[in-house]
C-alpha cells in the first residue's frame, strides 16, 4: 500500500478533526474512519463516511419518532427477524462510503454490482500510477482441473519464477510505453504526446485504479455475501473481508444476523429438503434415487458434512 507522506498527512489531519453532531455515530467505526486498511500488495479500503447504525435499522422498521431502540436484546431480535425474512428496506436506511484502491481486473468484477454509486479515478484527466498487482507466491495457482472458474495447486519452482517475471516485465514494459506515448512535459520535444484517454488502453489489467464506492447496507450485504464467499476470486475476496471488518464495527447486531442467516447459512431446494427429511428419518438415500443431480447431491452432502 504505497500512500505518499502527503496522503498520510491528509488522512491524519482528517482523523484529528471532530465536529459535534446530533446524528447517530458509532465509536468503533469512528476509530476506523479514514484509515486505509491494506489489501493485496498496493491496494486498500478505507471508510470515508457513513450514515446510520443498528438503531437506524430498528428505527425504520418501527417507523419511530425517536431513536426507535428498545432493549439491546429486543433490537437484536428484531434485526434477526428482518434478516431471516428478507425484510430488506430497513437495512437500506444505513449508508457507507468507501475509498478503494484496486487492480483494474478486480474493478471489472466489482463494477457488476450495480446497486452502488461509484466515481472512479479518471485516466482521461490524470496519469495512472506505476503500480501493478503481482500475486504473492502462495497465490500463484494453476488452473483448476475440476472448476473452470477456479484455481488448483500453487505453482512451484521455475514455473512460478517465470510467471512472476512475465507479469512484472509485461506490466513494466507497457507502462514504459504508456509514459513514452504520453510524452509528459515534452520529454521528447519532437513529439506532441498522445492523449491520456488513448494512451491508457495499453496498460495491463493488474494496474491499480481507485474509486469512491457508496452503497446502502442492504446492497453492501448482498455484495459481501457474494464476494466474501469462498467461490469468489481471492483478489476480490480480500477486499470484501476488509469491508466485513468495517461492517462488524459499524453495525454489530446486523453483522451478527448476517453471518448467521446469510454467510453461514445454506439454501435448500424443496428436493434437497426432502432428502434431508428422509435422512433424518433414518432412510438410506442414494443420489440416483434422490431426484437430485450429481452436483446438487455433492453440494448437499458437503453442506451436511457427510
Ligand atoms: C462467484 C461469481 C462468479 C461470477 N461469474 C460471472 C461471469 O462469469 N460472467 C458474468 O458476466 N458475471 C459473473 N458474475 C457476476 C454476477 O452474475 C452478478 O452480475 C454480480 O454478482 C452482481 O450481483 P447482483 O446483481 O446481485 O448485484 P447488483 O447489481 O448490486 O444488484 C442487486 C440486486 O438489485 C437488483 N437490480 C440491480 N440492477 C437491476 C436492474 N437493472 N433491473 C432489475 N433489478 C436490478 C436485482 O434484484 C439484484 O439482485 C459472477 C459473480 C460471482 C459472485
Cα 240 to ligand 1 centroid, rounded to whole Å: 16
Share of the chain above pLDDT 70, in %: 98
Q: Is the CB of 215 under 6 A from ligand 1?
A: no
- Range 147-176 average pLDDT: 88
CA–CA gap between residue 76 and residue 73 (Å, rounded): 5
Give the residue, out of 105, 106, 151, 226, with the most ligand 1 atoms within 8 A of its beta carbon, to mutate for a pocket test: 226
Give the residue, out of 88, 111, 114, with the most ligand 1 atoms within 8 A of its beta carbon, to mutate for a pocket test: 114
C-beta separation of 77 from 128 below 8 A: no
Q: Which residue is catalytic, options 114, 227, 262, 278?
A: 227
HSE, CB side, 13 Å, CA atoms: give it for residue 34. Answer: 13
DSSP-derived secondary structure for 144-202:
PSS-TTSEEEEP-HHHHHHHHHHHHHHHHHHHHHHHHHHTGGGSSTT-----HHHHGGG
Interacting residues of 205 by C-beta distance below 8 A, sequence separation 6+: 103, 104, 105, 108
Residue 68 has pLDDT above 70, yes or no: no
Q: pTM to 2 decimals?
A: 0.93
Which residue would you say has higher pLDDT here, 142 or 63?
63
Polymer length in residues for the chain: 306
Residue 234 has pLDDT above 80, yes or no: yes
> How confident is residue 71, by pLDDT bands cut at 50, 70 and 90?
confident
Share of the chain above pLDDT 90, in %: 81
CA–CA gap between residue 220 and residue 215 (Å, rounded): 6
Q: Is the CB of 111 under 6 A from ligand 1?
A: no
The region, left, alpha or beta by phi > 0 then psi within -120 to 50, assigned to residue 241 is: alpha
C-beta separation of 207 from 106 below 8 A: no
CA–CA gap between residue 195 and residue 106 (Å, rounded): 25
In this prediction, residue 168 carries a pLDDT of 96
Amino acid at each position: 500500500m504505497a500512500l505518499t507522506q502527503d496522503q498520510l498527512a491528509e488522512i491524519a489531519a482528517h482523523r484529528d478533526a471532530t465536529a459535534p453532531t446530533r446524528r447517530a455515530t458509532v465509536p468503533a467505526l469512528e476509530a476506523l474512519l479514514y484509515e486505509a486498511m491494506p489489501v493485496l500488495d498496493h491496494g486498500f479500503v478505507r471508510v470515508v463516511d457513513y450514515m446510520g447504525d443498528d438503531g437506524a435499522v430498528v428505527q425504520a422498521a418501527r417507523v419511530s419518532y425517536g431513536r426507535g431502540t428498545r432493549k439491546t436484546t429486543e433490537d437484536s431480535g428484531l434485526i434477526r427477524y428482518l434478516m431471516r425474512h428478507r425484510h430488506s428496506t430497513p437495512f437500506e436506511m444505513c449508508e457507507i462510503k468507501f475509498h478503494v484502491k484496486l487492480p483494474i481486473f478486480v474493478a471489472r468484477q466489482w463494477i457488476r454490482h450495480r446497486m452502488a454509486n461509484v466515481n472512479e479515478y479518471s485516466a482521461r484527466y490524470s496519469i495512472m500510477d506505476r503500480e501493478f498487482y503481482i500475486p504473492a507466491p502462495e497465490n500463484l495457482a494453476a488452473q483448476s482441473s475440476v472448476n473452470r472458474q477456479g484455481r488448483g495447486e500453487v505453482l512451484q519452482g521455475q514455473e512460478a519464477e517465470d510467471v512472476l517475471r512475465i507479469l512484472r516485465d509485461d506490466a513494466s514494459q507497457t507502462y514504459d510505453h504508456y509514459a513514452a506515448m504520453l510524452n509528459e512535459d515534452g520529454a521528447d520535444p519532437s513529439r506532441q504526446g498522445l492523449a491520456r484517454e488513448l494512451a491508457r488502453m495499453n496498460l495491463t489489467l493488474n494496474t491499480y485504479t481507485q474509486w469512491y464506492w457508496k452503497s446502502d447496507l442492504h446492497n453492501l450485504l448482498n455484495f459481501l455475501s457474494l464476494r466474501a464467499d469462498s467461490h469468489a476470486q481471492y483478489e476480490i475476496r480480500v477486499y470484501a473481508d476488509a469491508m466485513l471488518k468495517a461492517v462488524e464495527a459499524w453495525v454489530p447486531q446486523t453483522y451478527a444476523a448476517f453471518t448467521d442467516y446469510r454467510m453461514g447459512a445454506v439454501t435448500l431446494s424443496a428436493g434437497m429438503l426432502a432428502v434431508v427429511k428422509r435422512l433424518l428419518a433414518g432412510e438410506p438415500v442414494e443420489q440416483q434415487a434422490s431426484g437430485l443431480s450429481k452436483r446438487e447431491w455433492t453440494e448437499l452432502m458437503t453442506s451436511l458434512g457427510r
